[in-house]
Each structure stands twice: as structure tokens, then as C-alpha cells.
Amino acid sequence: MKRVVIYAVILVLAIIAGLYLSRDPGYVMFAYGDWSMETSIWFFIIAIAIIIILLWMIARFVFGVLGTPGSIRRWHKDHRSKKAHSLTSDGVLALHEGDWSAAENLLIKGVKSSAIPVVNYLSAARAAQEQLAYDRRDRYLNEALKVDKNEAVAVGLMRAQLQLEHHQLDELKLTLRDLKKSAAKHKQVQKLIYRYHAACKNWRRQLDLIPDLSKQHLIDQDELDQQAYYAVKHVINDANASLEDIDTVWKDLPKIIKLRKPIVQAYIARLIDFGQHDRAAKLISQELKSEWDDALLRLFARVRLEDPDRQLDMVDGWSKKQTASPALYCTIAVVAFHAKAWAITKTYAEKSLRLEKTPEAYLVLALSAERLGEEALMQSALRQGLMLASGGDLGL
């Protein structure tokens, strides 16, 4: 637009000058010694313009010839750069499309003239791994480190990620050890350390790492909660774990994990295993107040308080507040049996069986019948309980 305006102004000025000169064309005279020449102003202006244009074209040609080698070099360099960029771009696209072989070839061909060759090598390492070519993968990673030692962390992260995906846990351990020395606070390093311990099933180490990961929002919270659930279950149910171990794990658990029924139940079961019956009974009572659960009732049946009558009073009080269920009646029967209340045991075992026939209720009924001297009832309950436990009629 700017050029159009300039040309328009020049045209207008030329028209004005032409109109003026048409009335008085004037003349120009050159004289040198005995030689002289006269001409019109129009011819003089046109001649000067032609001379200027010719001089400009000659100068451009001369400077162009003098600068040809540099121009050729610049053109060649630009051409190579564009070609390398095209190879790298095509390689990255092939990588995303899953054409691993083509991606690897294109990325390596584009390395020499790539602006960031380390990216070519890292991407080629990924393509090689997808082809199960682990030797080439490691070679590319080493080359990436050679071309740019300042990118040691990026190369290390890619190496660790690929080793994790290939389940090379021994090699991954060494890679992470180096990364911890150079970039311990790097978020991706922390994530990979967690993934490593998850892959190795180092449950306690996972539980140590989860709070910081959650605080920094490095991993999806639902995933962390689920992994914490698995880790806690394994630690609590570990046969070699001490009471102090499971108490420490429980104390450090996030509240959201403590609310999960299977976790609470596993912890209570381990408290009972360690003879912590009072603590188990207290925790069961607290949990039942917030939500009624038959699984907790069955755990309560395993509790042995020093005062069986108090335990019987507790479960009897629950029965008055809750809807009748086979688990509730069977639990009352078991607690009554340990309180040596044989008649109550028999009554609630029969109530449980009327709602649902279970091997446990038949066993409690048989034991109470034995204490009451009811031989026929005992044998009948044992027989039916065994048949039920075996899965049906064996034709005997």
C-alpha cells in the first residue's frame, strides 16, 4: 500500500512537470573547451535516469559476483537445515503414528543438521524400544548425552522411563540413583522413583512417598489412594510385621484411606491376631456407629474381652437398634457361647439359620446343643453344616 501511494505521488508530479515543460521545454547545454552540446530538458532527464539505472544494475551484478561463494554457502546451509527440519518433523510424526521403523530412520538421518540433535536421539531411542531393539535404544541415549552434556537430566529421565516400561528394574535403580544425585527435587524424578517402588512392590516405601506426591499433585489422587490401599493391605497383612509396624502404618495413613472398609477390617483383624481385643472392640464399635457392616460383626465374634458379659451386652444393644440379619444373630450366638450362655447361644443360632443357612451358624448350634446335652440336635446340626460347607449333597 505504501508503494502504491509513492508511485501515485511520483506520477502526479511527473504529470505536473510534463504540463509545465510542454509550455516551456527549455534546453540544457554542455560545453567543454571547443566542444558543446545542447538538448531539451526532457531528453536530459531521461538520459540521467537511464544512466543511474545502468550504474545500479552494474553495481548489483559486481557485488553479486563477489559475494557468490558466501551466498552459495548460505543457500546450502539453509537447504540442509530445511531438509533436516523436514526429516525431524516427519520422524516425530511417524513416531506419533506408531511407524517405529520409519520414525527411527528419519530421526537419525536428520541428526547432523538438526538444531537440537538431542531431541532426535531421544525420540529415536523411543522408536527403537518399541521395536524391542534395546541395544540401539541405549546407543541413541548415549549419543544424546555426547552431543549435549547439559541435557543429562533429560537423557536420564528418558532412560529411566524406557527402562521402567521394559521392566528393567535393576538398571532403573542405577539410573534413578544418578538422577537423585543431580536432580533429587525434580518432579519427574520423584514420580519415577515412586513408579519404581510400585513395580518392585516395595509397599512401605510407597507409603512413605505417597504423602509428598499427593501434596505436590504429581500423580492423580485417585491412583494414589488406590495404590495406598493396596500397600496398606500388604503391610498390615505381612506375617513378619510387628504390632508396632501396623500401628505406625495406621497412624500415618491419610484419612481417606482409613475410611475404606477393607483397610479398617484388615487393621482390626491384625489387632485381634496380636491379642489387642479391647482396641479391636472399641474400633469396631466406632465404625458400626457410622455405618453398619456385617463384616465388622463377624470380626467382633472373634474378639475375646476379659469380661464376656460386657461383650454380650454390647452386641445385644446393637440388636435392639439394627434390623435383624443372619450375621447379627450369629455374632450374638458366638459371643453368648463364650459367655457360657448356652441357651442364648442356641436361640440366636436358630434365629440366624431361619434367615440364612450358613456353616458357621450350624457349628455354633451344634456346640450349644452339646453343652445342653441335646445329642440328636448336635449331630443333626453338624451333619447339615458339613453338607452345606461341602457344597451340597454328596450322595452319602
The reported pLDDT for the residue numbered 71 is: 45
CB 161 within 8 A of CB 191: no
Q: Give one word for 385, left, alpha or beta, with left for phi > 0 and alpha for psi -120 to 50.
A: alpha
Residue 228 lies in a domain: no
Provide the CA 128 distance to its chain's centre, in angstroms. Answer: 23
Residue 172 lies in a domain: yes
The reported pLDDT for the residue numbered 76 is: 46
Strand stretches in the chain, DSSP E: 28-32, 35-39
Tell me the torsion sign for CA atoms 44, 49, 53, 58: positive
DSSP code string of 204-224: HHHHHHHHHHHHHT-S-HHHH
Cell numbers for 336: 453368648
Cell numbers for 361: 451358624
The CATH number covering residue 176 comes to: 1.25.40.10
Residue 279 lies in a domain: no
The reported pLDDT for the residue numbered 329 is: 94
CB 260 within 8 A of CB 291: no
Residue 142 lies in a domain: yes
Residue 71 lies in a domain: no
Residue 152 lies in a domain: yes
Mean pLDDT in each 10-residue stretch from start to end of the chain (396 residues)?
63 62 60 66 67 75 56 48 66 85 86 82 90 90 86 90 92 92 89 92 86 84 83 83 87 79 89 94 92 91 92 90 90 93 94 94 94 93 90 56
Q: How far is CA 317 from CA 121, 191, 257, in A?
A: 71, 50, 29
First-last CA distance in the chain: 106
* The total number of residues written for the chain in this structure: 396
Contacts of 314 (CB under 8 A, 6+ apart): 281, 285
Cα 122 from Cα 119, distance rounded (Å): 5
A 10 A CB-CB count for 298 gives: 16
CB 106 within 8 A of CB 88: yes
Return contacts of 99-108, CB within 8 angstroms, 24+ apart.
Answer: 100/127, 100/128, 100/130, 100/131, 101/127, 101/131, 103/127, 104/128, 104/131, 104/136, 108/140
Q: Which of the 8 DSSP states describes residue 149?
A: G
Q: How far is CA 299 from CA 3, 269, 291, 361, in A?
A: 92, 7, 15, 15
Contacts of 230 (CB under 8 A, 6+ apart): 203
Number of domains in the chain: 1
The reported pLDDT for the residue numbered 196 is: 92
The reported pLDDT for the residue numbered 195 is: 92
Query: What pTM did the predictor assign?
Result: 0.59
Find the domain containing 113 and state its range. 97-200
